[in-house]
Structure formats: C-alpha cells, structure tokens
C-alpha cells in the first residue's frame, strides 16, 4: 500500500482564496481533486436550518400525474432546483439545506410517483423524458430564466440530462454521489460488485430469489415487485430497500434502514428503481458522457464519497474528466449517505465554491 504522505501535492485552488484554507488539492495526472481535510482551525460545517416553504404548488403535468412543488428561502435569491434521488425517494428533510436560505430561492419537487406527488408509486407515464419535461414546466410556472440545478444519486442523473437538453437554462451544477445510469452501474449494486463487500447482506438479499434465477437478481426482483400478490411485492420491496440501506453507509446505520423501509419511501423507491433501471434509465447507454460537451462551459461542483458502494467513485472521476469547468470534492472516508459530518461539510464547501463561479 502506498503511504498517503508520498502523494505529490498540487497547488491550491486558485479560484477562491478562502476555500484554499479549508482544503488541499491533489493532482492525479493534470486533473485536480479538492480534498476536504480536518486540520487545526478547520471547523466542520453543518446544514442550514430546516426548510420552511413560503409557497407550495400542485402542478398538473399530465392527465394522470400531479406534482408537489415547494419554494423555500429567499424569493428574490439565486434560484436553485433540487432533484431528489431514487428514483422514487421523494423530498427529504435535509434536501436543499446545503444552500443558504438568505441567498438562494430553493425549489424542490417530488418526482412522478414519489412523495406527495400523485398517483403514489405510479409507473405509467413515468420516464426520464417525462421528468425532464416536468422540470421545464416548473421553471416556466415560477418564471425563472435560468437556475442552478442540484441533485444527489439518481438526482445527478436527472440534473445532468436536463442540463444537456437545456444548457442555456442552467447557471451551475451541484452534484453529489454521481450515478451515470450505465448498465455496469446497476450490475455493480444489484448483481456483482457490492456483493463482495457486504456478503452477509447480499446473502440475505439474494435468498428471496430461487437459485435458478440468481444469474439475474435484478430481473427476479422486478418480477416479484410486479406480482399481483401484494404481500410478495411488499416483501421484495422491503428486502430491496434493506440491501440499499445497508450498502449506503460505511458503518452500520440502523437509522438508514428505518428511513429506507418507511412506508412513504419503500414501495415507490423500490418499484420506480426497478421500472427505471430495467429500462436503462430510458436513455442510451453512455449517453451522459457522450453528451458532456453540451455542458462543458457550465460551472460544476461534484461531491463523492470514496467508499460509496451504491454509486462508484469512478463515475464521479469520469464525469469530472469530461467537464473542464468541474471540481471534484472527495470525501475520503465517505459512503453514499449524505448526512455524515464529513459529507455535510464537503457539500457545504462545494456550494461555497460554486458561488465563486456563478457570481
């Protein structure tokens, strides 16, 4: 193993002198990674206070679907749209709290089938292209000319695809836990990859699948979650979410399991993940990186946990290399969860860095 002290240090970030004091920049080849560190005098930052919406909306986007949308923060501030993960997780209490409510007009929405949007856990008329169109309808509803688009996990997939389709509407990108929605991304978490890191959890997860179907665990679970027997579908959804929660944290986190298996999250997230991932996210294989040149001029900050077992660090690295105006912030001991002190601190500092690019 290489001694970390032997790594060659690069120059500090030239963009923001204040940011230099809280981070170091390592160079791997010619591409910098900003590494949050805890040194003497470095104070770990926490979320901004809990969101308080000043306006909520019920936006009808089709004959079937109506979205829940909320506006928080400063109505005259820099607009930022938050895209939640999953698909299907819905808005969570910590979402958007990386952004100072005194500075930002923070917009959040429950994607089709998620959270307070209706109908609940619905897969009909629910594709990535539908979600991108929904984001444009939200922008038009709120009369916003351009905005920062932010997201985490699946939310980064959606944010990137929206930006590639409407680059002129995007002032900046805040992306945490990159998911490029490639076939190998799904295979890593649902077939072979994370299973080698969490073999005991994988054994429990795969036990629900008959041995003759274990060559394609994902397909077997998709079949079970579509079963007409509600008990079978619910049992499969619970096992799916326990697996995801277990692999989301470097250390065991019972609170994550409880959150992932709550009734408002478990069914829509499991069902919609199967729906979307089973169709390759309704995009071409490799589409996000193939179209990266469309957003090469958009200031972008990327935050990713080095030990994220749900979204591999290599995806953040490949995206970073494809976007010349991006900065990748590594959370050295971070997993997938957003709410560890190190991850929160990295996200807060990433937003501060983004501010220097967009002002």
| Residue 222: Cβ within 10 Å count | 20
C-beta neighbour count of 263 within 10 angstroms: 8
CA nearest 247: which of 284, 208, 298, 196? 196
Rounded-to-integer distance, Cα 138 and Cα 64, Å: 17
| Contact predicate 89/310, CB 8 Å | no
* Run of H or E including 79: strand 78-83
| Active-site position among 110, 336, 343, 345 | 336
Set 89, 153, 195, 248: catalytic member: 153
| Beta partners for residue 301, in sequence order | 174, 327
Q: Which of 110, 308, 330, 345 is catalytic?
A: 308
| Per-residue CA distances from 54 to 82, 277, 320 (Å) | 16, 35, 35
Q: Is 336 a catalytic residue?
A: yes
Q: Which two tokens stand for residue 188?
A: 């890593």
Q: Answer yes or no: are the C-beta atoms of 155 and 281 closer than 8 Å.
A: no
What DSSP element (H or E) covers 222? helix 217-225
Annotated active-site residue 26? The verdict is no
CB 85 within 8 A of CB 181: no
36 forms beta bridges with 23
Q: Is 308 a catalytic residue?
A: yes
Q: Rounded to whole angstroms, how far apart are CA atoms 354 and 101?
A: 15
- Positions marked catalytic: 153, 308, 336
């Amino acid at each position: 193993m290489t001694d970390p002290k032997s790594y060659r240090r690069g120059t500090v970030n030239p963009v923001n002198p204040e940011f230099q004091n809280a981070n170091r920049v390592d160079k791997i080849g010619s591409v910098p990674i900003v590494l949050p560190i805890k040194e003497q005098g470095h104070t770990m930052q926490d979320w901004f206070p809990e969101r308080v919406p000043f306006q909520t909306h019920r936006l009808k986007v089709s004959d079937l679907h109506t979205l829940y949308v909320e506006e928080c923060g400063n109505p005259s501030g820099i607009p930022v749209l938050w895209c939640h993960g999953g698909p299907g997780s819905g808005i969570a209490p910590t979402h958007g709290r990386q952004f100072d409510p005194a500075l930002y007009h923070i917009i959040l929405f429950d994607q089709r089938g998620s959270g307070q949007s209706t109908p609940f856990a619905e897969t009909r008329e629910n594709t990535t292209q539908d979600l991108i169109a929904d984001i444009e309808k939200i922008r038009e509803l709120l009369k916003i000319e351009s905005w920062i688009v932010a997201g985490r996990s699946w939310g980064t997939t959606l944010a990137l695809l929206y930006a590639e389709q409407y680059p002129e509407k995007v002032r900046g990108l805040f992306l945490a836990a990159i998911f490029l929605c490639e076939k190998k991304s799904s295979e890593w978490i649902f077939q072979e990859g994370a299973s080698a890191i969490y073999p005991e959890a994988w054994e429990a997860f795969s036990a629900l699948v008959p041995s003759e179907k274990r060559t394609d665990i994902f397909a077997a679970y998709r079949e079970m979650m579509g079963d007409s027997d509600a008990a079978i579908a619910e049992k499969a959804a619970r096992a799916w979410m326990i697996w995801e929660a277990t692999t989301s944290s470097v250390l065991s986190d019972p609170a994550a399991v409880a959150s992932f298996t709550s009734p408002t999250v478990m069914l829509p997230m499991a069902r919609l993940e199967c729906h979307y991932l089973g169709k390759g996210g309704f995009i071409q294989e490799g589409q996000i990186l193939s179209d990266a040149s469309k957003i090469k001029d958009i200031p972008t900050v990327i935050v990713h946990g080095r030990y994220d077992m749900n979204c591999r660090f290599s995806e953040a690295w490949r995206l970073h290399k494809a976007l010349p105006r991006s900065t990748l912030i590594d959370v050295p001991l971070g997993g997938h969860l957003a709410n560890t002190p190190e991850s929160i601190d990295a996200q807060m500092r990433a937003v501060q860095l983004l501010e220097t690019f967009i002002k």
